[in-house]
Amino acid sequence: MTSEYSDTTETRQAIIEACLSMQAAGVNQGVSGNISLRTTEGMLITPSGLDYDKMQADMLVLMPLDGTPIRPGQMKPSSEWQFHRDILLAKPGEMAVVHAHPVYCTALAMNRQPIPACHYMVAAFGGNDIPVADYALFGSQALSDQVLHALKHRSGCLMANHGAVVTGDTLARALWRMVELETLAKGYVTSLSIGTPKVLNAGQMTEVKKAFADYGLKTT
Ligand SMILES: [Zn+2]
Protein backbone atom coordinates (compact mmCIF):
# COMPACT_ATOMS: atom_id res chain seq x y z
CA MET A 1 0.00 0.00 0.00
CA THR A 2 1.48 3.29 -1.09
CA SER A 3 1.44 6.24 1.29
CA GLU A 4 0.76 9.79 0.23
CA TYR A 5 2.90 12.45 1.82
CA SER A 6 2.38 16.18 1.88
CA ASP A 7 4.88 18.91 2.68
CA THR A 8 4.17 19.47 6.37
CA THR A 9 6.47 20.06 9.33
CA GLU A 10 5.70 16.49 10.45
CA THR A 11 6.82 15.09 7.09
CA ARG A 12 9.99 17.20 7.16
CA GLN A 13 10.66 16.06 10.71
CA ALA A 14 10.21 12.41 9.62
CA ILE A 15 12.92 12.89 6.98
CA ILE A 16 15.30 14.36 9.58
CA GLU A 17 14.56 11.45 11.90
CA ALA A 18 15.25 9.03 9.03
CA CYS A 19 18.63 10.74 8.49
CA LEU A 20 19.45 10.42 12.18
CA SER A 21 18.44 6.78 12.25
CA MET A 22 20.64 6.16 9.19
CA GLN A 23 23.46 7.61 11.27
CA ALA A 24 22.54 5.47 14.29
CA ALA A 25 22.39 2.32 12.12
CA GLY A 26 25.92 3.02 10.90
CA VAL A 27 25.01 3.19 7.20
CA ASN A 28 25.97 6.83 6.74
CA GLN A 29 29.38 8.45 6.75
CA GLY A 30 29.43 12.16 7.65
CA VAL A 31 27.23 14.22 5.35
CA SER A 32 27.43 11.89 2.35
CA GLY A 33 23.95 10.38 2.77
CA ASN A 34 20.83 12.02 1.47
CA ILE A 35 17.11 11.32 1.47
CA SER A 36 14.25 12.46 -0.72
CA LEU A 37 10.52 11.98 -0.41
CA ARG A 38 7.73 12.49 -2.95
CA THR A 39 5.03 14.79 -1.63
CA THR A 40 1.93 16.18 -3.30
CA GLU A 41 3.82 19.51 -3.59
CA GLY A 42 7.02 18.07 -5.11
CA MET A 43 10.17 16.33 -3.91
CA LEU A 44 11.44 17.13 -0.43
CA ILE A 45 15.19 16.57 -0.26
CA THR A 46 17.89 17.02 2.34
CA PRO A 47 20.13 20.08 1.84
CA SER A 48 23.72 19.90 0.64
CA GLY A 49 26.55 19.26 3.11
CA LEU A 50 24.71 19.82 6.38
CA ASP A 51 25.20 17.71 9.53
CA TYR A 52 22.01 15.83 10.33
CA ASP A 53 22.09 16.91 13.95
CA LYS A 54 21.96 20.55 12.81
CA MET A 55 19.12 19.99 10.35
CA GLN A 56 15.84 21.79 10.99
CA ALA A 57 12.52 21.16 9.25
CA ASP A 58 12.69 24.44 7.31
CA MET A 59 16.13 23.54 5.90
CA LEU A 60 14.78 20.72 3.73
CA VAL A 61 14.43 21.75 0.10
CA LEU A 62 11.18 21.45 -1.85
CA MET A 63 11.91 20.81 -5.53
CA PRO A 64 9.22 20.60 -8.19
CA LEU A 65 9.28 17.29 -10.10
CA ASP A 66 8.36 18.99 -13.37
CA GLY A 67 11.70 20.74 -13.84
CA THR A 68 10.50 24.19 -12.86
CA PRO A 69 12.94 26.17 -10.67
CA ILE A 70 12.93 25.73 -6.91
CA ARG A 71 11.30 28.40 -4.77
CA PRO A 72 13.94 31.02 -3.93
CA GLY A 73 15.23 31.45 -0.40
CA GLN A 74 15.74 27.74 0.20
CA MET A 75 19.02 26.01 0.99
CA LYS A 76 21.01 24.30 -1.75
CA PRO A 77 19.62 20.79 -2.37
CA SER A 78 21.83 17.71 -2.03
CA SER A 79 24.36 17.56 -4.87
CA GLU A 80 22.71 14.24 -5.85
CA TRP A 81 19.26 15.76 -6.40
CA GLN A 82 19.31 14.70 -10.06
CA PHE A 83 19.13 10.97 -9.46
CA HIS A 84 16.66 11.45 -6.61
CA ARG A 85 14.36 13.39 -8.94
CA ASP A 86 14.86 11.07 -11.92
CA ILE A 87 14.15 7.96 -9.82
CA LEU A 88 10.92 9.45 -8.43
CA LEU A 89 9.89 10.45 -11.96
CA ALA A 90 10.68 7.00 -13.38
CA LYS A 91 9.05 5.05 -10.55
CA PRO A 92 5.66 6.53 -9.74
CA GLY A 93 4.96 3.84 -7.11
CA GLU A 94 8.06 4.71 -5.11
CA MET A 95 7.84 7.50 -2.56
CA ALA A 96 11.32 7.68 -1.05
CA VAL A 97 14.94 7.47 -2.18
CA VAL A 98 17.83 6.92 0.23
CA HIS A 99 21.47 7.30 -0.79
CA ALA A 100 24.56 6.69 1.35
CA HIS A 101 28.14 5.40 1.31
CA PRO A 102 27.92 2.48 3.76
CA VAL A 103 31.30 0.78 4.19
CA TYR A 104 30.53 -2.74 2.91
CA CYS A 105 28.32 -1.58 0.03
CA THR A 106 31.08 0.84 -0.94
CA ALA A 107 33.78 -1.84 -0.69
CA LEU A 108 31.86 -3.96 -3.21
CA ALA A 109 31.16 -0.87 -5.33
CA MET A 110 34.91 -0.13 -5.39
CA ASN A 111 35.44 -3.62 -6.87
CA ARG A 112 32.35 -3.12 -9.08
CA GLN A 113 31.13 -6.41 -7.70
CA PRO A 114 27.36 -7.06 -7.66
CA ILE A 115 25.80 -9.04 -4.79
CA PRO A 116 24.60 -12.40 -6.13
CA ALA A 117 21.65 -14.36 -4.71
CA CYS A 118 23.80 -15.55 -1.81
CA HIS A 119 21.01 -14.73 0.66
CA TYR A 120 17.24 -14.89 0.15
CA MET A 121 16.87 -11.21 1.18
CA VAL A 122 18.44 -10.22 -2.15
CA ALA A 123 14.93 -10.86 -3.55
CA ALA A 124 13.64 -7.92 -1.45
CA PHE A 125 15.43 -5.73 -4.01
CA GLY A 126 13.40 -7.11 -6.91
CA GLY A 127 15.71 -9.59 -8.63
CA ASN A 128 18.34 -12.29 -8.37
CA ASP A 129 21.21 -9.91 -7.68
CA ILE A 130 21.96 -6.40 -6.55
CA PRO A 131 23.64 -4.77 -9.54
CA VAL A 132 26.30 -2.09 -9.69
CA ALA A 133 25.50 1.10 -11.61
CA ASP A 134 28.39 2.06 -13.88
CA TYR A 135 30.67 4.86 -12.75
CA ALA A 136 29.97 8.51 -13.49
CA LEU A 137 30.91 11.73 -11.71
CA PHE A 138 28.96 12.45 -8.50
CA GLY A 139 26.11 14.91 -8.99
CA SER A 140 26.08 14.45 -12.78
CA GLN A 141 23.23 13.67 -15.14
CA ALA A 142 25.40 10.77 -16.41
CA LEU A 143 25.38 9.28 -12.90
CA SER A 144 21.62 9.65 -12.74
CA ASP A 145 21.31 7.82 -16.08
CA GLN A 146 23.49 4.95 -14.82
CA VAL A 147 21.60 4.65 -11.55
CA LEU A 148 18.26 4.67 -13.35
CA HIS A 149 19.47 1.93 -15.67
CA ALA A 150 20.60 -0.25 -12.73
CA LEU A 151 17.31 0.35 -10.89
CA LYS A 152 15.13 -0.52 -13.88
CA HIS A 153 13.93 -3.78 -12.28
CA ARG A 154 15.32 -3.22 -8.80
CA SER A 155 14.67 -1.23 -5.65
CA GLY A 156 18.33 -0.94 -4.79
CA CYS A 157 21.77 -0.96 -6.39
CA LEU A 158 25.41 -0.30 -5.67
CA MET A 159 27.10 2.62 -7.45
CA ALA A 160 30.58 2.02 -8.86
CA ASN A 161 33.34 3.69 -6.80
CA HIS A 162 30.69 5.56 -4.82
CA GLY A 163 28.04 3.90 -2.61
CA ALA A 164 24.47 2.67 -2.77
CA VAL A 165 20.94 3.85 -3.46
CA VAL A 166 17.59 2.30 -2.55
CA THR A 167 13.92 3.16 -2.99
CA GLY A 168 10.76 2.47 -1.01
CA ASP A 169 7.02 2.87 -1.24
CA THR A 170 7.29 4.54 2.17
CA LEU A 171 10.11 6.42 3.87
CA ALA A 172 10.39 3.66 6.47
CA ARG A 173 10.66 1.00 3.76
CA ALA A 174 13.46 2.85 1.95
CA LEU A 175 15.37 3.29 5.19
CA TRP A 176 14.87 -0.37 6.08
CA ARG A 177 16.14 -1.34 2.62
CA MET A 178 19.37 0.66 3.01
CA VAL A 179 20.12 -1.03 6.35
CA GLU A 180 19.24 -4.40 4.81
CA LEU A 181 21.48 -3.75 1.79
CA GLU A 182 24.46 -2.93 4.00
CA THR A 183 23.75 -6.05 6.08
CA LEU A 184 23.74 -8.15 2.90
CA ALA A 185 26.93 -6.50 1.68
CA LYS A 186 28.63 -7.16 5.01
CA GLY A 187 27.49 -10.79 4.97
CA TYR A 188 28.66 -11.25 1.40
CA VAL A 189 32.09 -9.68 1.96
CA THR A 190 32.53 -11.77 5.12
CA SER A 191 31.47 -14.98 3.36
CA LEU A 192 34.03 -14.29 0.61
CA SER A 193 36.73 -14.09 3.26
CA ILE A 194 35.98 -17.58 4.65
CA GLY A 195 35.20 -19.47 1.45
CA THR A 196 32.96 -19.38 -1.60
CA PRO A 197 29.34 -18.39 -0.93
CA LYS A 198 26.73 -20.71 -2.43
CA VAL A 199 24.23 -18.90 -4.61
CA LEU A 200 20.50 -19.68 -4.59
CA ASN A 201 19.18 -20.81 -7.97
CA ALA A 202 16.53 -19.01 -10.04
CA GLY A 203 13.78 -21.39 -8.88
CA GLN A 204 14.61 -20.80 -5.23
CA MET A 205 14.62 -17.03 -5.75
CA THR A 206 11.26 -17.15 -7.60
CA GLU A 207 9.88 -19.00 -4.59
CA VAL A 208 11.18 -16.27 -2.26
CA LYS A 209 9.72 -13.50 -4.43
CA LYS A 210 6.34 -15.24 -4.35
CA ALA A 211 6.53 -15.55 -0.57
CA PHE A 212 7.39 -11.84 -0.30
CA ALA A 213 4.41 -10.96 -2.54
CA ASP A 214 2.13 -13.10 -0.33
CA TYR A 215 3.57 -11.27 2.67
CA GLY A 216 2.73 -7.92 1.03
CA LEU A 217 6.27 -6.72 0.37
CA LYS A 218 6.53 -4.65 -2.80
CA THR A 219 10.02 -5.37 -4.15
CA THR A 220 10.36 -3.00 -7.12
ZN1 LIG B 1 27.13 9.92 -2.69
Q: What is the pLDDT of residues 18-52, one digit of tens each?
A: 999 999 999 987 788 999 999 999 999 999 988 88
Q: What is the pLDDT of residues 169-196, one digit of tens each?
A: 999 999 999 999 999 999 999 999 999 9
Query: 142: CA distance to ligand 1 center in Å?
Result: 14
Q: Pseudo-torsion of CA 29, 62, 83, 148, nearest 10°?
A: 120
- Note if the pTM is more than 0.85: yes
Residue 149 above 50 pLDDT? yes
Q: Is 80 a catalytic residue?
A: yes
Query: 206: CA distance to ligand 1 center in Å?
Result: 32
Classify residue 184 by burial, with Cβ atoms within 10 Å: 0-12, 13-18, 19+: buried
Q: What is the pLDDT of residues 109-131, one digit of tens each?
A: 999 999 999 999 999 999 999 99
> What pLDDT band is residue 1 in, cutting at 50, 70 and 90?
very low
Q: What rounded mean pLDDT belongs to the chain?
A: 95
Catalytic residue selected from 4, 17, 80, 207: 80
Q: How far apart are CA 114 and CA 159, in angstroms?
A: 10
Q: How far apart are CA 72 and CA 173, in angstroms?
A: 31
Query: 102: CA distance to ligand 1 center in Å?
Result: 10
Spatial contact of 94 and 53, defined as CB atoms under 8 Å apart = no
Q: What is the pLDDT of residues 48-99, one digit of tens each?
A: 988 888 899 999 999 999 888 899 999 999 999 999 999 999 999 999 999 9
Residue 215's pLDDT is what? 87
Spatial contact of 33 and 26, defined as CB atoms under 8 Å apart = no
Whole-number Cα distances in Å, 212 to 22, 25, 92, 124, 149: 24, 24, 21, 7, 24
Query: 33: CA distance to ligand 1 center in Å?
Result: 6
Query: 194: CA distance to ligand 1 center in Å?
Result: 30
Domain annotation for the chain: domains and CATH numbers: 9-215 (3.40.225.10)
Query: 209: CA distance to ligand 1 center in Å?
Result: 29
Residue 2 above 60 pLDDT? no
Residue 129's pLDDT is what? 98
The percentage of residues in the chain with a pLDDT greater than 90, rounded to a whole number, is 87
Residue 31's pLDDT is what? 81
